[in-house]
Amino acid sequence: MIRRAVNILQTNSFFLLGPRGTGKTKLLKELFSDPNNLYIDLLDPEEVEKFSLEPRELSRRIAALGSNKAWVIIDEIQKVPKLLDLVHLHIENDSKKFALSGSSARKLKRGGANLLAGRAYSYYLHPFTAKELGPDFNLDDSLAWGMLPKAILQDSVEERILYLQSYVHNYIQEEIQAEQIVRKLDPFRKFLAIAAQSNGEIINFSKIARDVGTTDISVKKYFEILEDTLIGFFLESYNPSIRKQQRNAPKFFFFDTGVQRALAKALSIPLRPQTFFYGKAFEHFVILELTKQCSYLRNDFSFSYLKTAEQTEIDLIIERPGNKKVLVEIKSTDAVQEEDVKNLEHFKDDFPNSRRICLSRDPHHKIISGVEVYNWAEGIDQILLKK
């Protein structure tokens, strides 16, 4: 059994959020295996219909628990968001504890999850991290197929491709079409492929709108849908002024390298070191590792990128409250040279009190022109140590 890094305190009601397929159901069943607990599975269509028509069914089932201290677990709560009102009521009146999983922040917001503010903690479950997999981790497999549990566990390349293609299909069918999030599905499908092909690039809303055949406003809405359904996140442009920051286009990263490749219809493209596609996948992977591990540590780090008018770029700027900023260059090479860290060297006077770190596949720790070079795993540990 792979031990998950998320540290859930079983002293208070909570939301466990995360994309589908990250293992939320499995984790909840492991944490709350006591048969006295009440488990409600809203992936079951019959249960969804029952609770949608008669939300008070929840109160009746809770009453049947009696006075014992059993937990109430509701899996995929966003399927029937109106249940949140009753959850709120039972937390307040009966001191009941709830474990609520969800894969769509969009529906939870619409359903009034804000009513539980301060009454239910929030945790996020991501695809596996390299640390969670330990000796079973394989970098090249993770770049190609991602870190979703079922993608990792498939025995063959063919099965991994089929799983990821099914995952993408089910996302469109169940999260987008069934919930009627967009009126026209074909432009959204086209957008998904283009957005995935542009993963990690600065978003040009107008260009994507032209390629999709829609408006800038629709494209912005589509990106918001991806963020709200936990399929990806924005990486904002760095600027000390928030007002200025909002004028610069963000980048967008999908939550998993395998899902991104499936959406981009690139699963058949082999990833070989020293190629463009390998380099992009490695950068994507490292950024995901950093953000996932920071999420589990629940620190207040903020991430951004920087690109000047002269096209000089820093892959990541990590602001760590009370500690030095970290400027990060990500290179997929296994032998870092001076030319690989020239961008970090370029910005040394602009960020005088900062650490400049290059994360790569190079197994040797070294210093080049004041830049600390680490193998990516050791370098992430250095960043998280807050030194």
Tens digits of residue pLDDT in 113-141: 555 666 788 899 999 999 999 999 999 99
The predicted pLDDT at position 281 comes to: 97
In this prediction, residue 178 has a pLDDT band, given cuts at 50, 70 and 90, of low
Q: Could you tell me if 85 and 191 lie in one domain?
A: no
Given a contact cutoff of 8 angstroms between Cβ atoms, the answer to whether 347 and 362 are in contact is: no
Q: Could you tell me if 220 and 173 lie in one domain?
A: yes
The predicted pLDDT at position 180 comes to: 56
Q: What is the CATH number of the domain that holds 264?
A: 1.10.10.10
| Mean pLDDT, all residues of the chain | 90
**Is 55 a domain residue?**
yes
The predicted pLDDT at position 112 comes to: 54
The predicted pLDDT at position 177 comes to: 67
Q: Could you tell me if 97 and 204 lie in one domain?
A: no
The predicted pLDDT at position 174 comes to: 72
**Is 282 a domain residue?**
no
Q: Could you tell me if 120 and 157 lie in one domain?
A: no
Poorest-pLDDT segment among 198-212, 262-276, 301-315: 301-315
pLDDT (average), residues 220-241: 89
φ/ψ (deg, to 5) at 15: -100, 135
Q: Is the pLDDT of residue 242 over 60?
A: no
In this prediction, residue 67 has a pLDDT band, given cuts at 50, 70 and 90, of confident
Given a contact cutoff of 8 angstroms between Cβ atoms, the answer to whether 373 and 336 are in contact is: yes
Q: Could you tell me if 108 and 79 lie in one domain?
A: yes
The predicted pLDDT at position 244 comes to: 53
**Is 96 a domain residue?**
yes
Q: What is the CATH number of the domain that holds 70?
A: 3.40.50.300
Q: Could you tell me if 83 and 156 lie in one domain?
A: no
Domain count, the chain: 3
**Is 84 a domain residue?**
yes
Q: Which domain holds residue 117?
A: 14-124
Q: Could you tell me if 135 and 267 lie in one domain?
A: yes
- HEC string for the chain: CCCCCCCCCCCCCEEEECCCCCCHHHHHHHHCCCCCCEEEECCCHHHHHHHHHCCCHHHHHHHCCCCCCCCEEEECHHHCCCHHHHHHHHHHHHCCCEEEEECCHHHHHHHCHHHHCCCCEEEECCCCCHHHHHHHCCHHHHHHHCCCHHHHHCCCHHHHHHHHHHHHHHHHHHHHHCCCCCCCHHHHHHHHHHHHHCCCCECCHHHHHHHHCCCHHHHHHHHHHHHHCCCEEEEEECCCCHHHHCCCCCEEEECCHHHHHHHCCCCCCCCCCCCHHHHHHHHHHHHHHHHHHHHHHCCCCEEEEEECCCCCEEEEEEECCCCCEEEEEECCCCCCCHHHHHHHHHCCCCCCCEEEEEEECCCCCEEECCEEEEEHHHHHHHHHCCC
pLDDT (average), residues 258-268: 96
Poorest-pLDDT segment among 181-185, 327-331, 349-353: 181-185
The predicted pLDDT at position 179 comes to: 59
Q: Could you tell me if 172 and 248 lie in one domain?
A: yes
Q: Could you tell me if 200 and 142 lie in one domain?
A: yes
In this prediction, residue 109 has a pLDDT band, given cuts at 50, 70 and 90, of low
Q: Could you tell me if 273 and 135 lie in one domain?
A: yes
Q: What is the pTM of this model?
A: 0.92
Q: Could you tell me if 136 and 266 lie in one domain?
A: yes
Question: What are the structure tokens assigned to 218, written together?
Answer: 């629709």
**Can you tell me which residue has the tokens 């299909």?**
169
The predicted pLDDT at position 118 comes to: 65
Strand partners, 325: 354
In this prediction, residue 290 has a pLDDT band, given cuts at 50, 70 and 90, of very high
Q: Could you tell me if 172 and 265 lie in one domain?
A: yes
